[in-house]
Amino acid sequence: MPPRNSTNQNVHTNTVPAIASMLESTFIHAKGIGRNTELRLWEAGARNWQEYLEADEESWPLSALQRTMLTETVQESVDRLQDEDFAWFAEALPAAEHWRAVPAFGHRLAFLDIETNGGNGPNDITVIGLYDGRKMYQFVQGQNMDEFPDALEEAAMIVTFFGTGFDLPFIRRAYPRLPLPQLHVDLCYMLRRLGYRGGLKSIEHQMGISRSNSTTGLSGLDAVRLWQQYRMGHEASLETLLSYNAEDVKNMADLLSDGYRKLARKVLMGEA
């Protein structure tokens, strides 16, 4: 089969791996395997790790060195996934491709969003919202913030919106001894690959996600204001702030679900 010269060329539909098993169809975490080579493997019939390992290695469009390195990586990948070794995949996968592991580790997700008082220091986080897809956890400055590390302990994948530039740097400053070995899906960048632009609320609107009357129109600046009001004795302001934070976090679940399906389809068809 002739090599592909462009990732914009469509992959024939009967060679496309299943959207639901994107991680097991991934080869770009192996040394010497880039996006074009991965597409060629799919076209040649290696739609997942099992199909790759079961066939004669020489049938794949790879050099001898590439075959050796890829076979070793794929065999280790199978074992690591069976052990749910998310930290290994977090290191092996390019950061922009962590989203591929969503189905594999979807039972251990942690949607994360923080609020601050407007400062940039380690003590300036006011609220941390954490949602595992079933239960909502919130940690408030002066109340239970020290319980946050334990709540994150079982998570294999953290999902944020612009957490790369905001939430996670704050978390690292506030909890310098907290390891963050998890896979990380930043919805801001993931959805940008699908053509969505703007902040979280703007993209929610673009994707048809609505908010409650009490939080519609609120922004990060309002979160700072609400915290200041709470500190002045207005308990209702904290309730509104927690509702705002909870919607930020829970709405990420819909964004991730829709975004994953759309991006997986584009990548598997060679369009992204």
159-197 pLDDT tens trace: 999 999 999 999 999 999 999 999 999 999 999 999 999
Output the pLDDT for position 1: 28
Question: Which position has the higher pLDDT, 58 or 99?
Answer: 99
**What single letter denotes the amino acid at residue 75?**
Q
Q: How far apart are CA 144 and CA 130, in angstroms?
A: 13
pLDDT score at 16 = 57
Reported as a single tens digit per residue, the pLDDT across 95-149 is 999 999 999 999 999 999 999 999 999 999 999 999 999 999 999 999 999 999 9
Q: Interhelix angle for 220-231 vs 235-268, to 10°?
A: 160
Q: H or E segment at 87? A: helix 86-92
For all residues of the chain together, what is the average pLDDT? 92
pLDDT confidence bin for 19, thresholds 50/70/90 = confident
CB atoms within 10 A of CB 198: 13
Task: Read off the tokens for 114.
Answer: 């923080």
45-to-4, 40, 55, 63, 202 alpha-carbon distances in Å: 15, 9, 9, 17, 40
The span from the CA of 80 to the CA of 23, in Å, is 12
- Which amino acid makes up residue 269? M
Give dist(CA 15, CA 43) in Å, integer. 5
In the predicted model, what is the mean pLDDT of residues 17-37?
A: 92
Predicted TM-score of the model (pTM): 0.92
Whether the per-residue pLDDT at 76 is higher than 50: the answer is yes
Q: Which residues contact 1 (CB under 8 A, 6 or more apart)?
A: 40, 43, 44, 61
